[in-house]
């Protein structure tokens, strides 16, 4: 076990690479143990039938999960994750879709059981720093919101010997962060859509992303991690999630590279209390 330990908890394979992939790559290469807790195998969505060919021996509803688990394994190796921990639930899909009703869906799990699973991992891995989604889950995905609440609860419970005694000896992580991004540019983009008479509430390939709602959930960053040195690794890890790309390979232009120079987080524990923090390191203030 290394001196510094970082744990990220999200619900889907790809949340780690598309989100804080540069931060993971950076800390892993700086000698920090980085763990990823992934609640589901991202079983929902449509992919090219050709991609599922190698998994035809599996029941139909397990094929995509098997493929995406494989993609995450590759990404984890590229990012140099120390540990990959699945909670074993199913992707719940976007709001008001059929997969929401699957009893195996993450959002239908017993909240207490999920918290207990997280507490057990926190106590075993002993991360000083924990990262998860903000209360809106970035863009409103029900699984993102659900894991936000479970991680918040587990952060409070892990250090309390009376809670989840079966999950190991108490251990209190020091800091809790949300992945957030500055909304300024997005606000401008929403304005542009409006001016050009496009509907910002029905954005994206499936028209299921509400940009207006995303902009309304504004959680200013407290912490900027410079990932320029790790940008190429982040892209390489992101490309492992092949099933998530449609319409040919993604193009990574100069503008995107400039925008992606930093990954941003909001410190929530210990509380910022309205202070304007300007951290450059998730371990800032923790000493040695
Ligand atoms: Zn996700």
CATH of the domain at 92: 3.40.50.10320
Statement to judge: residues 134 and 193 lie in one domain = no
What pLDDT, in 10s, does the model give residues 3-25? Answer: 999 999 999 999 999 999 999 99
**CA-to-CA distance for 19 and 2, rounded, in angstroms?**
24
Signed CA dihedral, 143, 144, 149, 153: sign only: positive
Statement to judge: residues 255 and 208 lie in one domain = no
Ligand 1 centroid to 139 CA: how many Å?
A: 9
Ligand 1 centroid to 142 CA: how many Å?
A: 9
Ligand 1 centroid to 42 CA: how many Å?
A: 8
Q: Is residue 283 part of a domain?
A: no
What pLDDT, in 10s, does the model give residues 118-174? Answer: 999 999 999 999 999 999 999 889 999 999 999 999 999 999 999 999 999 999 999
Statement to judge: residues 197 and 171 lie in one domain = no
Q: Is residue 212 part of a domain?
A: yes
Higher pLDDT, 219 or 274: 219
**CA-to-CA distance for 135 and 107, rounded, in angstroms?**
15
**CA-to-CA distance for 82 and 60, rounded, in angstroms?**
31
> What's residue 288's pLDDT?
59
- Domain count of the fold of the chain: 2
Using a cut of 0.95, tell me whether the model's pTM lies above it: no
Q: What's the average model confidence in pLDDT over 113-122?
A: 98
Ligand 1 centroid to 285 CA: how many Å?
A: 30
Ligand 1 centroid to 14 CA: how many Å?
A: 7
> What's residue 188's pLDDT?
87
Q: Is residue 188 part of a domain?
A: yes
The least confident of 36-40, 81-85, 256-260 is 256-260
Statement to judge: residues 51 and 14 lie in one domain = yes
Q: Is residue 277 part of a domain?
A: no
Q: Which domain holds residue 197?
A: 184-217
Statement to judge: residues 48 and 141 lie in one domain = yes
Ligand 1 centroid to 12 CA: how many Å?
A: 5
Statement to judge: residues 70 and 83 lie in one domain = yes
Ligand 1 centroid to 161 CA: how many Å?
A: 32
Structure confidence at residue 256 as a pLDDT band (50, 70, 90): low
Q: Is residue 279 part of a domain?
A: no
**CA-to-CA distance for 23 and 32, rounded, in angstroms?**
11
Q: Is residue 281 part of a domain?
A: no
Ligand 1 centroid to 166 CA: how many Å?
A: 29
Statement to judge: residues 49 and 147 lie in one domain = yes
Ligand 1 centroid to 194 CA: how many Å?
A: 27
Statement to judge: residues 69 and 16 lie in one domain = yes
Statement to judge: residues 248 and 205 lie in one domain = no
Statement to judge: residues 124 and 201 lie in one domain = no
Q: Tell the residue number behind the tokens 């029941």, with chain if given.
A: 59
Statement to judge: residues 172 and 202 lie in one domain = no
pLDDT at 249 over 50: no
Q: Is residue 282 part of a domain?
A: no
Ligand 1 centroid to 15 CA: how many Å?
A: 5
Say if residue 247 is exposed, middle or buried (CB neighbours under 10 Å; 0-12, 13-18, 19+). Answer: exposed
> What's residue 275's pLDDT?
80
Q: What's the average model confidence in pLDDT over 189-204?
A: 89
Q: Is residue 93 part of a domain?
A: yes
Query: Three-state DSSP class for 67?
Result: helix
DSSP 163: S
Statement to judge: residues 127 and 250 lie in one domain = yes
Rg (CA), the chain: 19
């Amino acid at each position: 076990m290394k001196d510094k330990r970082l744990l990220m908890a999200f619900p889907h394979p790809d949340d780690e690479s598309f989100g804080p992939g540069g931060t993971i790559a950076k800390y892993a290469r700086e000698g920090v143990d980085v763990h990823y807790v992934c609640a589901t195998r991202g079983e929902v969505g449509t992919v090219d039938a050709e991609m599922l060919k190698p998994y035809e021996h599996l029941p139909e509803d397990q094929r995509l999960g098997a493929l995406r688990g494989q993609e995450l394994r590759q990404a984890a190796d590229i990012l140099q994750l120390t540990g990959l921990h699945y909670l074993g639930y199913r992707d719940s899909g976007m709001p008001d879709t059929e997969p929401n009703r699957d009893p195996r869906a993450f959002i239908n799990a017993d909240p207490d059981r999920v918290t207990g699973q997280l507490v057990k991992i926190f106590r075993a891995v002993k991360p000083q720093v924990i990262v998860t989604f903000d209360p809106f889950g970035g863009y409103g995905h029900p699984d993102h919101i659900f894991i936000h609440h479970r991680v918040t609860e587990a952060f409070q419970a892990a250090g309390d010997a009376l809670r989840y005694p079966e999950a190991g000896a108490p251990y209190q992580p020091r800091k809790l962060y949300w992945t957030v991004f500055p909304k300024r540019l997005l606000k401008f983009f929403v304005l542009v859509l409006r001016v050009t008479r496009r509907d910002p509430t029905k954005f994206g390939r499936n028209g299921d992303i509400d940009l207006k709602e995303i902009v309304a959930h504004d959680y200013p960053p407290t912490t900027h991690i410079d990932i320029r040195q790790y940008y190429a690794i982040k892209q390489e890890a992101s490309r492992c999630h092949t099933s998530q790309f449609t319409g040919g390979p993604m193009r990574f232009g100069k503008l995107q590279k400039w925008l992606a120079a930093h990954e941003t987080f909001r410190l929530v524990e210990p509380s910022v209390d309205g202070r304007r923090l300007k951290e450059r390191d998730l371990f800032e203030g923790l000493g040695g």
